[in-house]
Amino acid sequence: MEKTKSYKQFGGFTNYYSHQSKVTGTKMNFAAYLPPKAGPAPVLYWLSGLTCTEENFITKAYAQLFAARTGFIVVAPDTSPRGAGISGEDDSYDLGSGAGFYVDATRGPWAINYKMYSYVTEELRELVEKNLPIDSNRRAISGHSMGGHGALTLGLRNPGLYRSISAFAPICNPMRAPWGKKAFTAYLGANEQDWAKYDATELVKNVKSKTPILIDQGLDDEFLKDQLHTDTFEQACKAAGYPAIIRRREGYDHSYFFISTFLEEHFAFHAEQLSR
């Protein structure tokens, strides 16, 4: 992997990297913050939402301040392959570029390149944990909106990889959301059984390992009713006996103003879980 930019920040460094991905068949970019503390550190993988790149979280959320205080390495990948040469990949904000949905596509023309599930859980993880001073026994995952969906589904499906999960305004039930229906139909086909593998509300019904989950949701979020389905996920957790913490925040919307307000509490949540 190639370091393309580096900035000293809070005693550590915010670095940007690029590498050729075997999984996606494209060049992939990610950002990482390395805190000042020496030695192997716990890692928080952050998955961003629709239209985002590796830049958004690392420049808007004050993550480096909280990471420096807790001693976390933060890794924030891009949200999709770029420049795959697929017809229409740049035509819509909610499909194609910037909208990988953290699934492994099985339908053409997306199936060759759009493998964000495997990219995050396998290739990116192995790459950064080989090249950065990460304690591979202490991983957490978090994200926002589409990335919150990604954090929940990757975390629920891989309890051995991630010891804690958090999300801001996640798409909790993408099978019932317009964003999810559009993406899943294109990437996975029409069979809803295939969709369920990437739907947190469906996954939580049968998961055996109870990885700790924290969710924050703004009540002034314009996408809450139609796209996010927080209540549906909470009901599924209660029915399954899954002790997820879901907090509703009066007056907050879907933006990074909301994320930055409560992100420090998410770092504290992950730090507590990874210290056990």
Question: pLDDT digit string (tens) for 247-261?
Answer: 999 999 999 999 999
Using one digit for the tens of pLDDT, what is the confidence trace for 146-176?
Answer: 999 999 999 999 998 999 999 999 999 999 9
CA dihedral 208→209→212→217, nearest 10 degrees, is -40
- For the entire predicted model, the pTM comes to 0.96
Residue type, 196: A
Written in H, E and C, the secondary structure of 152-214 is HHHHHHCCCCCCEEEEECCCCCHHHCHHHHHHHHHHHCCCHHHHHHHCHHHHCCCCCCCCCEE
pLDDT value of residue 38: 72
pLDDT of residue 275: 86
Secondary structure letter of residue 96 according to DSSP: B
> What local confidence, expressed as pLDDT, does residue 276 receive?
76
Distance CA 254, CA 31 (A): 22
pLDDT, tens digit (0-9, with 9 covering 90-100), for 99-145 = 999 999 999 899 999 999 999 999 999 999 999 999 999 999 999 99
pLDDT at position 139:
97
Q: Does residue 8 carry a pLDDT above 90? A: yes
Averaged pLDDT for residues 240-249: 96
- The answer to whether residue 271 scores a pLDDT higher than 80 is yes
Structural domains of the chain ordered from first start:
2-274 (3.40.50.1820)
How many whole angstroms separate alpha carbon 51 and alpha carbon 192?
25
Average pLDDT over residues 5-10: 97
From CA 43, how far away is CA 46, in angstroms rounded? 10
- Residues acting as catalytic residues: 145, 221, 254
Model confidence at 9, in pLDDT bands (50, 70, 90)? very high
How many CB atoms neighbour CB 245 within 10 A? 12
